[in-house]
Chains A and B, each alone.
Chain A
Amino acid sequence: MRGRGGLWILLAALPFLALLAVSLGRYPQAGFVPVGHLADDVLLRTILIEVRLPRVLLALLAGGVLAGAGFVFQMVFANPLVEPGFLGVSQGAALGAAAVIVAYGWAPAGVQAAAAGGAMLGLGATCALARRFRFGGWILRLVLAGMAVSAVAGAGLAFVKLVAEPTRDLQDITFWMMGGLWNASFPALASVVPAALGSLAVLWAMRWRLNVLSLNDRTAHSVGLSPRRDKTVLLVAAAVGTASVVSVCGLVGWVGLLVPHLARALYGADARRALPASILLGAALVLACDTVARTVLPGEIPLGLLTSLFGAVGFAVMVSRRPPLRGGGGDA
């Protein structure tokens, strides 16, 4: 799997998985679409094209961005235990988005901008706090700081819920906190695409450099890089991508933690292969979870619930496994 071939297989499998997901659902009955009905069932065609297709595309995009951002956070912080949800990024984005929804109602551009601002604020606060902590090594400090910042953002979110208009905004926010793609539509997709694809493009273009930046800053400097500038560019790109996904999909946890580890285990540590692998595997995982979320029960299971279950169990297995996880060190 370490060769280039493995990546192409992954890339080629995605459209097939997407097609499979589009054809799965609960109309006209639970299970696969009866192909014979496509010709004369107008409602079925509308559901496939206007409901399931944008949802499947959004799942792929969200999974790719969350896993790509998680990969970048892990390498930039030289810390295998971080993901957007652990660094105050997701909760910051959620708080920013929720505050704007309550104050001004749902407006995609405003919500996304607020989510991006909240994400950046969350990340900045986590980094600043981790540097000040006088307890534990860098890995632990960053995780603890992320917990503290996430808790503060969570408290802020709870407060926003308290003052939210109960019949409309509150339900939106509550369900959205659990993470899910029921909002998916082509307009919603279109509102995420620019920031999400822009973010992925930056991560993709800088993927080799990302390797060098995972060494300590003095070494990166000695091979001609500007580590602080390059890391800032990567972190902002990852945070903006995460925020755009969170603003539409809510909190979809653990994808950014588990998938990068899986990608490195399969394709090696070099981000030239492991970053694209992480993006593709993240897309596939979120698509699979979302397909389960909307098909197995008559009502919808929140996506975040499934990814957390899957991600946390997978992560527990991976951390218990030999050889042990590596990563860490002092000076980021």
Chain B
Amino acid sequence: MTSAPALRLDGVTYTYPGAASPAVDGVAFDLPRGASMALLGPNGAGKSTLLDLLLRWKTPSSGRIELAGRPLESHARTELGRAVSLVPQGEVARFAFTLREYVLFGRAPHVAALAMPGPDDEAAADAALRDVGLAALSDRDVGTLSGGERQLLLLARAMAQQTPLMLLDEPTSALDPANTARVARILRTLRDRGTTLLWTTHDPSFAAAEATHAALLRAGRLLAAGPADEVLSADALTALYGTPLKTLRHEGRTLVYAP
């Protein structure tokens, strides 16, 4: 049981209703526990759809997903909420909640159906706000945040959920370099605490720097998956994006660029 990977995908296929071809087509890979996996692919490759399948927001047309050694569909709804968290890409704050109230929503799977969050939940929310560096803004209205702060807020909410697996949908898109570095630091902290991470990105250099593992998705099909330094080769990335790309080693880091 403990040796089972955090996630195991086997022949996972999903076709949107009325679509001619599947958006995700026979995808199979393992996500080892404690890994930080980057999911790369061009726009429309099926990355977001794959995240939806892993969240059970969508159900695969065929194939099998195992979460911690058990079929995904065998997990009860709240149990799944305690096992997998999501950092969505952008989210509109519709009412003027404070940051603390907003992060507390991540505690929902830990709060019984008709109960209110308790002191433990408040503490977890406050700790998450401290971890992302927003503690000083706890009582502010979420509508007043900048784009970078909002991304950190969504991260904090997922952290308050305290799940062993966290899915992140383009956590660094639309962030300036300082905020990107901040998110990278938080991801490393999470991994140090034993959280398994799966995140999508359009930045191969960021993936090469931060991911332990990588998976390449093109037109719904998996081109490669495995340890990042094996998968993120110039040839593989060129095939993935359909444009010539080269890699450069500099100060121990791999940079990906278009020549």
Contacts and interface: CB of A to CB of B under 8 A. Distances in A.
Contact of A223 (B93, B96, B106): B106
A209 B116 CA distance: 8
B105 interface: yes
A225 to B, nearest CB: 6
Interface residues of B, number: 35
Interface stretch (A10-18, A100-108, A214-222): A214-222
Contacts of B115: 208
B106 A215 contact: no
Contact of A270 (B52, B97, B111, B113): B97
B108 A218 contact: no
Q: How large is the interface on A (under 10, 10 to 19, 20 to 34, 35 or more residues)?
A: 20 to 34
B81 interface: yes
Contact of A208 (B57, B84, B91, B111): B111
Contacts of A326: 93-96, 143
B109 A223 contact: yes
A162 interface: no
A89 B82 CA distance: 37
Given A212-B108, A222-B85, A272 B116 contact: yes
Contacts of B116: 208, 272
Nearest to B106: A223
Nearest to A225: B108
Nearest to B93: A326
A205 interface: yes
A269 B97 contact: yes
A264 B95 contact: yes
B86 A216 contact: no
Contacts of B56: 221
Contacts of B77: 224-226
A221 B101 CA distance: 18
Given A209-B108, A222-B81, A269 B95 contact: yes
Interface in A223-263: 223-226
Nearest to B105: A212
Contact of A268 (B96, B111, B117, B143): B96
A215 B96 contact: no
Contacts of A221: 55-57
A215 B105 contact: yes
B245 interface: no
B81 A211 contact: no
B258 interface: no
Contact of A225 (B81, B84, B92, B96): B81
A329 B92 CA distance: 6
Interface in B62-81: 77-81
A215 B94 contact: yes
Interface string B131-144: 00000000000010
Given A221-B57, A223-B108, 17 more contacts: A205-B114, A209-B113, A211-B101, A214-B94, A216-B88, A218-B55, A218-B88, A219-B88, A219-B91, A222-B57, A222-B86, A224-B81, A224-B109, A226-B77, A264-B96, A270-B97, A326-B143
Interface of B: 52, 55-57, 77-82, 84-86, 88, 91-98, 101, 105-106, 108-109, 111, 113-117, 143, 161
The 3 closest A-B pairs by CB, nearest first: A224-B81, A224-B109, A222-B86
